Amino acid sequence: MFFTSFQFKSVSGSKPAVNVGLRDPDPLEFKGDLEFVNTIREFVPPGLFGDGASLDVTSTRVKAGFGIGLPPLAVGVFSLQGVSLNASIELPFADGKPLFDFGLSSREHPFALIVAFLGGGGFFHLQLDTKGIRQLEAALEFGAAASINLGVASGGVHIMAGVYFAMGRKTVGGAEVDYAVLAGYLRLGGELSVLGLISISLEFVLCFAYESGKAAGRATLTVKVRSPLLQ
């Protein structure tokens, strides 16, 4: 490890401040029997393995965590991409009750699973505190997609089915109440583009959800027509 500076500052009435400067861009170098790791590191794209360890301290809490991204896995017609593992623990200063957070990918960045022409994705998220499960949610989507390009025209179609589940506690009127949500959906659609002059897309989504003893369904149809001639 190569350091460029190390500063420690303490002022009466405030917490100590520590500032560590590392050599840029390669602060870490392996020696001896581990020197081969330096060569391997050159072939690893930046950010492939996530953000690593993190420590966040505010006036109300301290949060320590770790995030790691797994490299893509491809075996024959099977491919798994975008998988990340995230874990953290949060210690509030007010009540001192810890909060543990674990995630397999995320809602914003789900993992992708492809088997031949079939594909899908999903995520898993869990929060635990001293009372038990504070939040648990998971989703999984799977289906098929195909595309074709004939030169003068190109397009594609897709059909996907998914399921979403969530449970935990939420605050309603100043009190915590338990909740549970189970939803399933089907979406299918396609798009067609002719010589780049006109593009038409259509998507139909059918969703059915059950939450806290109530069931509801919704269906939507979205049609879009885009063309530079219409602008």
Q: Per-residue pLDDT tens for 123-138?
A: 999 999 888 888 999 9
- Let me know if residue 48 belongs to a domain: no
- Let me know if residue 223 belongs to a domain: yes
- Let me know if residue 160 belongs to a domain: yes
With cut-offs at 50, 70 and 90, classify the pLDDT of residue 165: very high
More confident residue, 216 or 32: 216
Q: Residue 212, exposed/middle/buried by CB under 10 A (0-12, 13-18, 19+)?
A: exposed
- Let me know if residue 63 belongs to a domain: no
Unique residue bearing structure tokens 């995320």: 106
- Let me know if residue 193 belongs to a domain: yes
pLDDT on residue 131:
85
Smallest CA-to-CA distance from 102 within 84, 90, 86, 89 is with: 86
Region of 116 (left: φ > 0; alpha: ψ -120 to 50; beta: rest) is left
Domain that holds residue 188: 133-231
With cut-offs at 50, 70 and 90, classify the pLDDT of residue 186: very high
pLDDT on residue 220:
94
Mean pLDDT score, 162-174: 87
pLDDT on residue 93:
80
pLDDT on residue 213:
80
How many structural domains are present in the chain? 1
C-alpha separations of 220 from 52, 192, 216 in Å: 41, 20, 14
pLDDT on residue 202:
92
- Model confidence at 49: pLDDT above 50: no
Contact 33, 50 (CB under 8 A): no
With cut-offs at 50, 70 and 90, classify the pLDDT of residue 48: very low
| Extended beta strands in 31-174, E state | 52-57, 61-69, 73-75, 78-81, 84-92, 99-104, 111-115, 118-129, 132-149, 153-172
Alpha-helical runs (H) found in the chain: 36-41
> Facing residues of 88 across strands?
65, 101
Determine how many CB atoms are found less than 10 A away from the CB of residue 94: 7
- Let me know if residue 64 belongs to a domain: no
- Model confidence at 24: pLDDT above 90: no
pLDDT on residue 120:
87
Mean pLDDT score, 165-183: 87
More confident residue, 78 or 3: 78
Report how far residue 185's alpha carbon sits from residue 31's, in angstroms, rounded to the nearest whole number. 54
- Let me know if residue 31 belongs to a domain: no
With cut-offs at 50, 70 and 90, classify the pLDDT of residue 221: very high
Report how far residue 70's alpha carbon sits from residue 81's, in angstroms, rounded to the nearest whole number. 8
Distance, CA of 140 to chain centre: 13
- Let me know if residue 83 belongs to a domain: no
Contact 148, 182 (CB under 8 A): no
Mean pLDDT score, 147-157: 85
pTM, 2 dp = 0.64
pLDDT on residue 208:
92
